[in-house]
């Protein structure tokens, strides 16, 4: 079980709703993932016409919590405005906050992110900020009132997995009471399992499932990977060693010698 702003969920996988080959495959993949939370872009919903209405109907049929996001926003003002529109449209104070600084890497504008988070929290929002793995940025977001922080594993859609393991591990150690979600860059179930093995509370992903040859099967694979990672973390992983250690000890073991 994982808790976000006082609400508890069974699944530790948050899943996106974009890029799927068809609406039906999107629904089937989300169901196969076991996810209880689906991210939705306001820009897609507000594109207008019956398409947006039909899409929103499909999401409601899934009986999941909706996490709107400010994807594509480049300024604090744009992100704050988009968040307010999302709250009105989706009827939730939750917002996945993105303020993008660079078009190529989609790296967050961490200065603008903290500013936008501060404004939104004062306005009653419960913010899920997408940030880098920088400890100082995470601390500023927590000081602003964020109870959830979502550092990336790698750039969005890169599928590289965790590229700065030590930084993510440090975040987990220094923020033991904050709900931490690895968001972006996850490309394989093993990447998700690694994040959970580090003690992260959940993983948010989209592209790795939506762009798979079989999104439904991949969604199931990620569900299993996350379950395995969390179970391993709770069981207690052994520490890595520099030297070999025999699985069958020889000290104290009796030896028999043939008598000539």
Residue 49 pLDDT? 45
The answer to whether the annotation marks 157 as part of a ligand binding site is yes
> Would you list the domain boundaries of the chain?
2-235
The pLDDT value recorded for residue 81 is 95
207 is in an annotated binding site: yes
Q: What is the pTM of this model?
A: 0.87
DSSP secondary structure of 104-159: TT--B-HHHHHHHHHHHHHTT-EEEEEE-S-HHHHHHHHHHT-SEEEE-SSSTT--
pLDDT in the model for residue 48: 47
- Considering the chain, what percentage of its residues have pLDDT values greater than 90? 76
> Of the CATH numbers 3.40.50.2300, 3.60.110.10, 3.20.20.70, 3.40.710.10, which one belongs to the domain with range 2-235?
3.20.20.70
Say whether 184 counts as a known binding-site residue.
yes
Known binding residue 206? Answer is: yes
pLDDT of residue 111: 94
Least confident of 61-65, 159-163, 181-185, 204-208: 61-65
Taking the C-alpha atoms of residue 65 and residue 71, their distance in angstroms, rounded to an integer, is 18
Residue with tokens 């089937």: 28
Catalytic residues, by residue number, are 96
């Amino acid at each position: 079980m994982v808790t976000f702003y006082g609400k508890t969920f069974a699944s530790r996988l948050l899943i996106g709703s974009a890029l799927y080959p068809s609406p039906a495959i999107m629904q089937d993949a989300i169901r196969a993932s076991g996810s209880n939370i689906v991210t939705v872009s306001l820009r897609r919903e507000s594109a207008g016409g019956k398409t947006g209405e039909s899409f929103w109907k499909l999401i409601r049929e899934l009986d999941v919590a909706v996490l709107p996001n400010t994807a594509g926003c480049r300024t604090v003002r744009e992100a704050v405005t988009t968040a307010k529109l999302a709250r009105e449209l989706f009827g939730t104070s939750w917002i996945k906050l993105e303020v993008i600084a660079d078009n190529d890497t989609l790296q967050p504008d961490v200065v603008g992110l903290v500013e936008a988070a501060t404004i939104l929290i004062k306005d009653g929002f419960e913010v899920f900020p997408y940030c880098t793995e920088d400890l100082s940025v995470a601390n500023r977001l927590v000081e602003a009132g964020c109870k959830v922080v979502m550092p990336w594993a790698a750039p969005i859609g890169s599928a590289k997995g965790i590229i700065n393991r030590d930084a993510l591990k440090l975040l987990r150690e220094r923020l033991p009471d904050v709900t931490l979600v690895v968001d972006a860059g996850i490309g394989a179930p093993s990447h998700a399992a690694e994040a959970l093995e580090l003690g992260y509370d959940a993983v948010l992903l989209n592209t790795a499932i939506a762009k798979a040859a079989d999104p439904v099967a991949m969604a199931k694979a990620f569900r299993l990977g996350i379950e395995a990672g969390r179970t391993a973390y709770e069981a207690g992983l052994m520490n890595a060693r520099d030297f070999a250690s025999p699985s069958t000890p020889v000290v104290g073991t009796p030896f028999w010698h043939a008598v000539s």
